Structure 1
């Protein structure tokens, strides 16, 4: 519909009250829980400085309303006839979670066709299909890139019927990537190989009633105060322009505005004082702890944070439930939350009550209560559960790292490359959950664990007779390297859950990468927090075969009582042997040399320095980013003893 430029009338500012109504409409239509959205997320969806203008479409002569930010970048639009708010591609790329449950997949080359004004045809649609009905907003996503490329309105009675249809139109295209509505912002909407979208919901808290009671002032109250203050100023300006005979009426109006502003300020002050002193009720504290337990159980099932059972009630509460409370550390400190603030008062009574709801099973053991098992995804409360992001408590004191910190410290990751028998398992994970798992050749241990937990839960492979074991299906039989007889003997398919990661690793070849986090090649793969995923590092840098190697520092006697120190294995850490020998010569004030030595079928460099210089060598290596755990010391001088660090 935006093949040709729309005729847009002048923009005007949108009142904050209208903006709030607009935001509420967006949250309702796109199934967002407004109470769980962070302020920055709300601003991303709909900035405070929002403007709107009416426009006319040349192709259909339809009237629309366009909503833009202060730079006049179009963010939303709607047809005056329907009133449904439709996101522009700028908004969809910033907030891809709007597409959740509204995606129809189509090849990327279809973009050129729909840009010309064509509707999306049924033969160009691919499963899985969303559950939508005629007139609903639908998002076109490319496969396999998972990139939003267009927006349309459903034309069929229900999208589930696309599985049985072979021809006809699936959706009316209303906006596409690169059309005239967003053509001025090509740089922001450029498709690149590294482009990726996160379609998960951006919730920062579990429920509004658990967080607003400790907030000092809501954003809505601030906006009301600002709007009222602006109205007051406008009233004062108009009052000065009134003729003397009209001043009495204007004076009354102005007094009403001042009174309204005073009431808002008083309510704001009351909200501030209440936010500091008000406590959660016992029922609300109960809900907080129950929510934290749900989060704990869900993460154990779906996110790979496996909790080994049986586990004591005190350990489950202290190590897992308390760290998953849906409140910020500051709010927890202010409310001084503990199990004693609940109606149960004790951990044992809390878990007994949760057992009645089917979230876990307990067993009395001596003087303690043991949790013997946790619920699975088949539990009603967990089937549609949406996890929230837990805000971790910041450390106030100095940290105690296990390895010395240094600028440019190297990082080593261990990777696993699946054998041919295990490859189908990884392919199935990537095909069934492309938004969760990406395809690749190498995976770290956490990647193996998360995929296994997800796959086992999706296929419901947990042994109902013994939840500590699973019953492997044909895919896992190959991935675990189980005997061929397992195809006919179900008893051979039973595998302990504590062994699944190790069994999968045995069907993979170990690789490793040693890298500098400041490497310019890796900067494009860092997330918002500057972290790097192991699988992204494996795409950027070539892994080396085998486990993480060690640098061997050895002392030995030569020529009678003469002691020398040798260093081998520098190549794997990118350290030039000649440069390192020169550095040791200055640091140890002794002669050094570089020699070629045989190590199996390969020839490597060995640095030799005069004297027992183990500490000097370790110091120089650590300055180059080598961690102490990667250094092995062989002392052949002290009575033939050998040590390893």
Structure 2
């Protein structure tokens, strides 16, 4: 919403006392705050400013007396939903429910992306579609400060089922982020990010544990959960050390369950449920050639992975350390399998003092009537997916951090200066091709220069400033031109610049067109082929370091020499046809592939 500068911003004006009181009462009512909290978020001396986003959507921003935006509304008038800014959320971090995301995702949100479902690590409960939420960076056992504000695109139930159903799509439509153009309006935009805070403990008195070891978290007397219980998370993707099993149901608003204590009979029942689940799923698709299966393989590969993480109807997770046959009434795997064979679920055969499974019966009535449960294997798979996503995100972040971003820019110059002035644009700025196109389209629409007969043509002759901007010396002035040709002519009359930026590093802007790295194979000294690399200095690469790396990589001799007629530019030579090796190294160093020009000139030299 605010990833680009505002299209328009009116003068900041003090908010009348009566309007400020109405706004404070609205904030208190909408967000369930105490009067003193309302005073903190809607202070005396509040100011307002009418704005238009870069998408020309009108809105109002409410600023603190110091000039930091605290609230904003979108839409005509001031009756739209009140949305807190990151500045306001740093004053009261628990103002909104939240979702947390790994650190590599945060720069993407700041860049204007919405939060996707796979990027959610944990979240508050419950969450509804279109609900205002904050987005934080994930920290183990702590809550990071809010870094973005948005509206839910799905419910918390969808997020909880995302891993099992491999759900994709958006989780949050992001409206405003730390470091975006709304944030930069504030005088405190350079302030440090607050430290993560500890998860609050309930203020109410904790009741003694009952016989099952469960404790009740108290309420505030009105049946409402205390802050700690309201902050219980659905944290099934990346459990922190010492936290509950990732497959356990999220803590409710009123109770904090401990692991279920199982009797021997309970363990036997859970193990039987595991076998029924395995018969419904993995075992039902096994071909006859897969049998016989030894008891140990059958147990470890099919029964143990299908163990339930929560007994049916218990509502609390299982202590998996007790979910083993030695804690059951059977005591051994052999006895357990014989009991299942007697029931008709499997078929066994005695072999050298042990048993092997020779057949299974997925069509058994008990199997058909089994209600599937969440298994240990599904939890481990979910955790593995989360870890894989985290690794991929970290690898992508590391790759992105070292990548060079090359942009072609243009500066108003000569005959185009008057047109930029007429379009009310700064003539000292550098503009991208997208910027020039947006300025051109807005100008043409405002002046009504689209040809009435053929829409793709622009009546450049009707506007003096535009006619000057597209004028070519010694050419007949054009009355009308195609839209694409008009844009191209404007760029040709502007001054060419380029920008090279390293992610997280400095930005270098220079006059002139950007030149690619040239990699060419040529024949030298008779019939010996060599690969020559030039133009790499533009991308911040050192000739000696590049030659040294190529010497090791290609196991060939290298040399560095000045380019003929140039004092600063160097040429690196490596023996042999090494185009692929050189190109791969340049890409690994961050040079975009589109800015590498490679050609093999050795063929023409041989003839």
Specify if TM > 0.5: no
Give TM-score scaled by structure 1 length: 0.36
Q: Which has the larger radius of gyration?
A: 2
Give TM-score scaled by structure 2 length: 0.38
Structure with the larger helix share? 1
